[in-house]
Amino acid sequence: MTLQMRAPAPSAALHESPSMTSPAAPLVRFRDVRKNFGALAVLKGIDLDVAPGEVVALIGRSGSGKSTALRCVNGLEKVDGGELTVCGRALHSGTVDLRELRQDVGIVFQSYNLFPHLTAEQNVTLAPRKVKRIGKGEARDLAAEVLAQVGLADKAQSYPEQLSGGQQQRVAIARSLAMHPKLILFDEVTSALDPELTGEVLKVIERLARGGMTMMLVTHEMAFARSVAHAVVFMHQGKVWESGKGEMLAHPQTVELRQFVGNGL
């Protein structure tokens, strides 16, 4: 911790859940988490909590470590130091069954990564059928339910290439929802989309937020982060530089965030 580099901490203290009203134990708990790629230190001691039902937005420049931090949460990246607990599993111990973890933690990628050879319905039900062994009829109902949640009930039989980028991304969100995760990670999910298509995806995420889904999002959409996220975490040079409620973006405490927000808005 290099306190001297950081301005006075904002209201939400780093070691507590940013939304301090939540009494439940955090779903995600970073404590001094470190991660290196070779000689390059990408995460230099991250502290962060995500409470159930909370929406946390990670913002920062590219290379700030925000995506890496997110990918640590479902074990796509291994942590090299510190403690990371997700849904009661200690990822730093190295003994966690990633397949079990990933039934609780969904992820949506920037590039959708839908399976091109499967219809929207098949994309959504593949994992529930193979992993949770649900039956055909149940799978169909499940697909109808989650596709309706993202507003694509009528696209169940479409293949990804027949859908717009925004629709594909919504199917990808539905694919995550179908596993009934406790937490969903969003890795720059609107960055590959044309501006006119980002709205429909953000609207779906906003609806999920209102429904109480716990989410962590890496995003460049500052207005969205401010209005939807319960907590915003600004990362810089592999550290949590500043964090707090959405209004913090209007009143940055650090020069770096001020510059970042200034560029972004």
Question: Which parts of this chain interact with other proteins (CB under 8 A)?
Answer: 74, 76, 98-100, 102-103, 106-107, 109, 111, 113-117, 126-127, 130-131, 159, 161-162, 175, 179
| Beta-ladder partners of 243 | 233
Distances (CA, A) of 38 to 35, 41, 62, 80: 9, 8, 18, 11
Find tokens 């937020």 and name the residue.
Answer: 209
CB of 115 vs other proteins, minimal distance in Å: 6
Taking the least distance from each CB to other proteins, the nearer of 37 and 115 is 115
Taking the least distance from each CB to other proteins, the nearer of 109 and 237 is 109
CB of 74 vs other proteins, minimal distance in Å: 6
For the chain, the straight-line distance linking the first and the last C-alpha, in angstroms and rounded, comes to: 29
Secondary structure of residue 225 in the 3-state scheme? helix
Secondary structure of residue 148 in the 3-state scheme? helix
CB of 113 vs other proteins, minimal distance in Å: 4
Taking the least distance from each CB to other proteins, the nearer of 9 and 76 is 76
Number of H helices, E strands in the chain: 8, 10
CB of 117 vs other proteins, minimal distance in Å: 5
Rounded distance, CA 44 to CA 142, Å? 41
Taking the least distance from each CB to other proteins, the nearer of 100 and 141 is 100
Taking the least distance from each CB to other proteins, the nearer of 162 and 227 is 162
Taking the least distance from each CB to other proteins, the nearer of 25 and 131 is 131
Rounded distance, CA 139 to CA 117, Å? 18
CB of 165 vs other proteins, minimal distance in Å: 15
CB of 187 vs other proteins, minimal distance in Å: 10
Residue 241, C-beta contacts closer than 8 angstroms, at least 6 positions apart:
6, 60, 234, 235, 254, 256, 257
